[in-house]
Amino acid sequence: MDATLLADLIEYRKDRDKAVVAAARSLLQLFRDRMPALLHKKYRGKGCDLGEKPDAYGALQVATGVEGAELLSAREARLAAAGKLRRDEDGGPAGEGDTDDGLKQIQEQAARQKGMSKGQKRRLAELADDSRRGGVRTCPMPQSAIEGEAVDPLDIAGVRARKAATREEKLASTVAGREERAAFGRRKKKKTGGSSNQEKKKTKNFIMATKTRQVQNKVKRREELQRRARRSSKKQFRGSVRKGR
């Protein structure tokens, strides 16, 4: 595929057949992404990379690692540091007393949250069984405290607490949410290219504008309407035509 053949194929975007037009547009978009250097400057688009080229036939891209794996190791390090700090505050390693404390905490939490769903209750029961067997040591520190994220009490209590909240509490929650979020509106991005086609159309010469497809189609539609009007007027004529003397 060379630049001349590609330019000829792209010109089929103006064909009358919709399938041909769709194929030409797909080809144009493909070369914009894969090899924009073969395209003419007006077809490349904004911010294209002229050095982009497709891989050779049979070439392999060997992965040297897993993307995002460093985030997992960093999270494990934070969790390990938080667990070590908790053990230091307790004054010793995890033992039977820690298991009993964790079991009591789970039971108290289940008593406080009676409005939980069946799946959540089942999960708490499984945690309590594991604590009795000694297989899992429950850490009294909540997960949100380890990760450093705040938890909304209304999210824990569920829909019932939102319905039971007063009008002042709902209004205060709404105002607090508006302060935290960003302002609405379109994000203004720095312009990287030239003027758009709409801007060029406003400053185009009148003689050049008359040769565009949009204007030509409008002229054709007007002539077709005039022909239909003439045919209709002949059919609606009910009188007689006096021949010349």
How do residues 142-165 score in pLDDT, each as one tens digit? Answer: 554 445 566 666 667 666 666 777
Q: How confident is the model at residue 95 (pLDDT cuts 50, 70, 90)?
A: very low
Domain that holds residue 103: 96-140
Report if residue 19 sits inside a domain: yes
Q: What is the 3-state secondary structure (H, E, C) of the chain?
A: CCHHHHHHHHHHHHCCCHHHHHHHHHHHHHHHHHCHHHCCHHHHCCCCCCCCCCCCCCCCCCCCCCCCHHHHHHHHHHHHHHHHHHHHHHCCCCCHHHHHHHHHHHHHHHHHCCCCCHHHHHHHHHHHHHHHHCCCCCCCCCHHHHHCCCCCHHHHHCHHHHHHCCHHHHHHHHHHHHHHCCCCCCCCCCCCCCCCHHHHHHCCCHHHHCCCHHHHHHHHHHHHHHHHHHHHHHHHCCCCCCCCC
Q: 112-123: per-residue pLDDT in tens?
A: 655 556 666 677
Based on the domain organization, do 100 and 132 belong to the same domain? yes
In a domain, 203, yes or no: no
User: With pLDDT > 90 as the criterion, what percentage of the chain qualifies?
Assistant: 9
User: Domain for residue 21, yes or no?
Assistant: yes
Whether residue 118 is contained in a domain is answered as yes
Residue 228 falls inside a structural domain? no
The answer to the question of residue 117 being in a domain is yes
Q: What is the pLDDT of residue 178?
A: 78
Is a pLDDT exceeding 90 seen at residue 222? yes
Tell me, yes or no, whether 234 lies in a domain: no
Our count of domains for the chain comes to 3
Q: What is the pLDDT at residue 144? A: 45
pTM (predicted TM-score)? 0.26
Give tens-digit pLDDT for 73-82. Answer: 888 888 888 8
- 114 belongs to a structural domain: yes
